[in-house]
Amino acid sequence: MKTPLLSLCFLISSALCSVSAAQTKQDTIQITTEHYYPFSISDKDGVVYGASADKIHELFKRSKLTYQMNMLSWNRAFELARNNANTCVFSTSRTKERESSFHWIGPVMTGNWAMFGSPDKLNKVTNLKDIKQSTIGTEEGQVSLAYLSDKGFKIVTSTESITTFKNVALGRIDYATAADTHGKKIIAENNLKDKVVWLFNYSSSDYYLACNPKMQVGTIALLNKNLAKMKADGSFKRIENKY
């Protein structure tokens, strides 16, 4: 009788260890984002910071949750969070189409969507009605793609925002759309100011940390609770004001 009993105990112990290992692995929440100035930026060592990123760092620190934050292309970052348990993505616009695909923490930021084009159009092109027949470029997966497509605009996508802006500079497309601050930063960093300028803002959006729907409801509630505390004690605004 001793041998079967010992074997049974060993099997139970192994099973418990396996469960424990799985839970430990699952406890590390994966957070994905894109390069999106000034919301999420990375330094030379790959550390992600910025107006949104710093808030999320502080939020997870207060919530005592283990996490890893990685910067990817937007489309890749978004799809990983949509398809993988225990994964979140920011800065994510909360739309009707996306609502049921995620649990939502936030808003963590608010931003404006802008149109960019050649300098000769400055003060002449001031709203979407002025460019109805034009070709507009945007990055794959951006909320602007659905927004403008629904309004009948011809959209050309690229894997990176910089490609879209360079295409405007080269005359391959008429306009580029991006967040106003992010687009202005792309222009400055790539010496495009003689070729591409900000023209007008056409929409604004609240941005969230969007988490896979399989994430525990209690974790989502904890994050939203601590985010509300950050707003109440002023740390939320202090982080934002750094940028």
pTM score of the predicted model:
0.81
Q: Please tell me the predicted confidence (pLDDT) of residue 15.
A: 39
Give CA–CA dist 48/52, Å, rounded. Answer: 10
Give CA–CA dist 185/189, Å, rounded. Answer: 6
pLDDT of 27-57, one tens digit each?
A: 899 999 999 999 999 999 999 999 999 999 9
CATH topology of domain 112-204: D-Maltodextrin-Binding Protein; domain 2 (3.40.190)
Q: Return the closest-CA partner of residue 202 out of 153, 141, 139.
A: 153
Q: Please tell me the predicted confidence (pLDDT) of residue 23.
A: 36
Give CA–CA dist 57/51, Å, rounded. Answer: 10
Is the alpha carbon torsion for 112, 116, 119, 121 positive or negative?
Answer: negative
Tell me the sheet residues that pair with 215: none
* Residues carrying CATH 3.40.190.10, the chain: 28-110+206-241, 112-204
Q: In the block, which residue shows the tokens 């909360």?
A: 94
User: Which ranges of the chain have pLDDT less than 70?
Assistant: 1-26
Give CA–CA dist 104/14, Å, rounded. Answer: 37
- For 28-110+206-241, the fitting CATH number among 3.40.50.620, 2.60.40.420, 3.40.605.10, 3.40.190.10 is 3.40.190.10
Cα 199 to Cα 104, 126, 215: the distances in Å are 32, 6, 41
Eight-class DSSP state of 99: G
Q: What is the edge-to-edge ordering of all strands in the sheet holding 103-117?
A: 67-71, 29-33, 87-93, 197-211, 103-117, 175-179, 135-139, 154-158
Give CA–CA dist 25/235, Å, rounded. Answer: 30
Q: Please tell me the predicted confidence (pLDDT) of residue 80.
A: 98
Q: Please tell me the predicted confidence (pLDDT) of residue 142.
A: 87
pLDDT of 63-102, one tens digit each?
A: 999 999 999 999 999 999 999 999 999 999 999 999 999 9
Q: Please tell me the predicted confidence (pLDDT) of residue 27.
A: 80
Tokens of 38: 């000034």
